[in-house]
Amino acid sequence: MPEEGVELLKHSDILSYNEILDVVNEGVSLGIKKIRITGGEPLVRKGVIELVQKIANIKGIVDFGMTTNGILLQDYALELKKAGLHRINISLDTINPEKFKKITRWGNIEDVIRGIEAAKSAGLHPIKINCVITKHPNEPDALEVTEFCKTNGLEIRFIRQMNLKTGEFWQIHGGNGGNCGLCNRLRLTSNGFIKPCLFSEIGFNVREWGVREAILRAIREKPVKGTKNQENHFNNIGG
């Protein structure tokens, strides 16, 4: 999220939970088996537990996860587990409280640590930590996060800082993201676009095309390799 803030979407442009459920249902009927809720920050949206519960009840989903900044997780972990979420990824680039505050602009790392504890006690498994690095997992902050993960029995994935504008992206260390040859992911944005790739300006709006057609068109437009994306920002495509 840029420091100067972002232009807010109109409320009427944001998909309702029922519309999101329609997309998930249609996707599952077309063979999608994995669903991940991401953001922005999913836990700030009112009623998110109900959405999780309804998605979890859709037959055919074998892997259901969420990516969160972890700040509200202490309040929601148990409810998420009870609602049927399988696993959780938490973004954590440093465990230094001052740096954490600086990176997030206001966050308190203690909240995230309590959130991780709550997720462990709730039985969300595995808990994966997404750590953004500039270049290498041996950077001092990344080493500290690695140590923290070892001590706390958490899996870690390193995500090299990406640049949408220039199309600079890398495979995720410790995960299978970023491998275009194997990538079969689709992304639904909060305002209803199904995108074939993060690094692509293309998107098909479900309200305009209809859910099934938007999904099929996005599948047909899966690129051989991600290129660049001049129009979107990570805060609105959930990168």
Span of 20-28, 83-91, 136-144, 191-199 interacting with ligand SF4 by CB under 6 A: 191-199
Q: By the 8 A CB rule, do 192 and 204 touch?
A: no
Of 70 and 226, which CB lies nearer to ligand SF4 in the complex structure? 226
Enclosing H/E stretch for 145? helix 140-152
Of 154 and 197, which CB lies nearer to ligand SF4 in the complex structure? 197
Tokens of 3: 């420091």
Question: Which segments of 15-96 does DSSP mark as H helices, in order?
Answer: 17-29, 48-56, 73-83
Closest approach of Cβ 224 to ligand SF4, in Å?
A: 8
Rounded to a whole number of angstroms, the CA Rg of the chain reads 18
The contact mask relative to ligand SF4 for 192-211 (x = CB under 6 A, - = no) is: -----xxx------------
The contact mask relative to ligand SF4 for 220-239 (x = CB under 6 A, - = no) is: ---x--x-------------
Of 28 and 180, which CB lies nearer to ligand SF4 in the complex structure? 180
Closest approach of Cβ 156 to ligand SF4, in Å?
A: 20
Closest approach of Cβ 39 to ligand SF4, in Å?
A: 17
For residues 238 and 74, what is the distance between their CA atoms, to the nearest angstrom?
22
Q: Report which of 49, 103, 102 is spatially closest to residue 80, judged by C-alpha positions.
A: 49
Of 136 and 225, which CB lies nearer to ligand SF4 in the complex structure? 225
The interface with ligand SF4 within residues 158-187 (CB under 6 A) comprises: 169, 178-180, 183, 185
Of 71 and 164, which CB lies nearer to ligand SF4 in the complex structure? 164
Closest approach of Cβ 48 to ligand SF4, in Å?
A: 24
Closest approach of Cβ 185 to ligand SF4, in Å?
A: 6
Q: By the 8 A CB rule, do 68 and 45 touch?
A: no
Helix (H, G, I), strand (E, B) or coil at 231: coil
Compute the half-sphere exposure of residue 201: CA atoms within 13 Å on the CB side of its CA.
6
Of 9 and 182, which CB lies nearer to ligand SF4 in the complex structure? 182
E-strand ranges in the chain read 34-37, 63-68, 87-91, 127-133, 155-160, 187-188, 193-195, 204-205
Q: Report which of 15, 67, 63, 14 is spatially closest to residue 39, judged by C-alpha positions.
A: 67
Of 71 and 237, which CB lies nearer to ligand SF4 in the complex structure? 237
Total number of residues binding ligand SF4 (CB under 6 A)? 11
- Asked whether position 76 contacts ligand SF4 by CB under 6 A, the answer is no
Residues that bind ligand SF4 (CB under 6 A): 169, 178-180, 183, 185, 197-199, 223, 226
